[in-house]
Amino acid sequence: MFHRYMHGVFFSVFCLMAVALLVIPAGVQAQQIVIAQGIDAQALDPQADVNIPTMVVNSNIFDALLSRDRSLKIINRLATSYKVLGPNKWRFNLRKGVEFHNGEPFDAECVKYTFERIFAPGSKSTQKGWFNTIDRVEIVDKYTVDFITKKPDPILPARLTMFYIVPPKYCSEAGFVKFNLHPVGTGPFEFVKWIRDNKVVLKRNEKYWDGPSPIKELVFRSMPETQARVAGLQTGEIDIATYIPPDLAEPLKGKGDFTFKSTISSRIIHLKLSTIADSPLKNKKVRQAVNYAIDRESIIKHILKGYGEIIPSFVPKIIWGHNPNAKAYTYDPKKARKLLKEAGFPNGVSITMNGPSGRYMRDKEVCQAIAGQLADAGIRVNLQILEWGTLIEKVTSHTIAPIYLFGWSLPSLDPDQWLWPNLHSNEPMSQTSYAPLDELLEQARHEMDVKKREQLYFKAQDMVNEEALIVTLYEQKDLFGVSKKLEWSPRGDEMIYMRDAKLVK
């Protein structure tokens, strides 16, 4: 973009430059691609934070052993093949000739180190719950490793799509803090700089094992205000704008050098209802009342303008293990009031609710609508909207309000990764403690028979609904603004792999 202030004699020169740029082919112009997300990356150490905007950035710096293609099938990346050697043993053959951005070679030692680093003293990795089914990694030879699991683990390959490999020598020398500020991976882009709450700048990895990207520089901008993301799309400052509200997109369709693309995602927007905090929500009937008090159809129609789908359970419809016959809660405020009375609250209850702004499509407005609907059913809400980093800190420290709006999606695309992190008693993200559900999830996690495992997850989803541990609101339909100079489409797992993007010439 031109500097805002153009002075005297330079004005005509700049104008001539602008005209010249207009006739250069799009593929030549695209030296830089800018992606605007609602929040900044929370960490550039891929083992330190696991929300999707953070993983989107890190997945372009780092490679995992496995990944998913556009159809969401598991594919090889740093692993070239794998097989099961026994109920607790998996063997992975590794790609040869790969280097980290600093020149360190990738080999079996890197895989072993990456796993051990997650559980090392001083590590605060949020991935501990993802990989605690693994007992150890054994080196067979320089390019072969065995993963030994504590118990049978049918979803190990799905877990390893989020197992980003780090360089042992540099990590050991740098320590956790420096590595987070100056990350080094094997991915298609190298780290350049990070200006907190503003942007992360990456440059093309010219020696990338899968071939260099056509994009010379990749920038991730932090833009919490959706209007700012849309404005940037209009001016050409932004090439991909995430989570655009449909009411802002509709008037702009066909009116610029950009288009809008959408897909149903695996993200489930929901309310967490704490059973561990000292609040009326410890009472099952109060939790059920909250479920009956919310008009999901109205929220989808009037706030999301149709960009969402009601879902009966807390496992996405687009992944294996979703229970299509789960009994969903209907909108019934009279029943909600009746349940409150039965719970010993004939005059209703008062409760604090937290929610984010800018993280999900119309999240603040959804929170406000829910607060109003709850009030109509006798649940008076003190709504407090928090900055994303503050909200996450309160979630993991269990100081969050007993009811809060959240969205959940993971590229693993397995029901374990929705139910376990959010509802198992021992998980840092969980606000729930319910032993029968813990037992069911533990049984399902280690069941190698696919049919039996599916039935266990069906039972778990029914149990979550019956106990009203979560208010499942809707499966999010993502809407992105995309520059016409890019050939790129959104994915159901919400990841943005720029290795898949092409420039339109």
Which two tokens mark 59?
Answer: 């997945």
pLDDT of residue 5: 30
- Tell me the C-alpha distance between 374 and 390, whole Å: 24
Instruction: Provide the pairing of β-strand 199-204 with 189-195.
Output: antiparallel
Which CATH superfamily, name and number, covers 52-176?
Dipeptide-binding Protein; Domain 1 (3.90.76.10)
pLDDT of residue 17: 34
pLDDT of residue 293: 98
- Tell me the C-alpha distance between 146 and 29, whole Å: 46
β-bridge mates for residue 269, sequence order: 407, 474
- Tell me the C-alpha distance between 217 and 37, whole Å: 17
Q: What is the residue extent of each domain of the chain?
A: 26-41+181-263+480-503, 52-176, 265-478
- Tell me the C-alpha distance between 230 and 232, whole Å: 5
- Tell me the C-alpha distance between 430 and 423, whole Å: 5
Do the Cβ atoms of 406 and 354 come closer than 8 Å? no
- Tell me the C-alpha distance between 64 and 72, whole Å: 15
CATH class of 26-41+181-263+480-503: alpha beta
SS3 (DSSP) at 99? strand
- Tell me the C-alpha distance between 128 and 208, whole Å: 29
What's the pTM?
0.80
Q: What angle do CA 12, 15, 19 make, to 5 degrees?
A: 140
> Burial letters for 361-389: b for 16+ Cβ neighbours within 10 Å, e otherwise?
bbbbbbbbbbbebbeebbbebebebbebe
pLDDT of residue 31: 86
Task: State the DSSP H helix or E strand holding residue 289, giving kind and residue range, or none if neither.
Answer: helix 284-293
Per-residue pLDDT of the chain (505 residues; tens, 9 = 90+): 333 333 333 333 333 333 333 333 333 335 899 999 989 999 999 999 888 899 999 999 999 999 999 889 999 999 999 999 999 999 999 999 999 999 999 999 999 999 999 999 888 888 887 898 999 999 999 999 999 999 999 999 999 999 999 999 999 999 999 999 999 999 999 999 999 999 999 999 999 999 999 999 999 999 988 899 999 999 999 999 998 988 899 899 888 999 999 999 999 999 999 999 999 999 999 999 999 999 999 999 999 999 999 999 999 998 889 999 998 899 999 999 999 999 999 999 999 999 999 888 889 999 999 999 999 999 999 999 999 889 999 998 999 999 999 999 887 889 998 999 899 998 888 999 999 999 999 999 989 899 999 999 999 999 999 999 999 999 989 999 999 999 999 999 999 999 989 999 6
Provide the 10 A C-beta neighbour count for residue 11: 10
- Tell me the C-alpha distance between 139 and 14, whole Å: 59
pLDDT of residue 8: 37
- Tell me the C-alpha distance between 1 and 17, whole Å: 11
Do the Cβ atoms of 300 and 310 come closer than 8 Å? yes
Do the Cβ atoms of 60 and 497 come closer than 8 Å? yes
Which CATH fold would you assign to the domain 265-478?
Dipeptide-binding Protein; domain 3 (3.10.105)
pLDDT of residue 481: 96
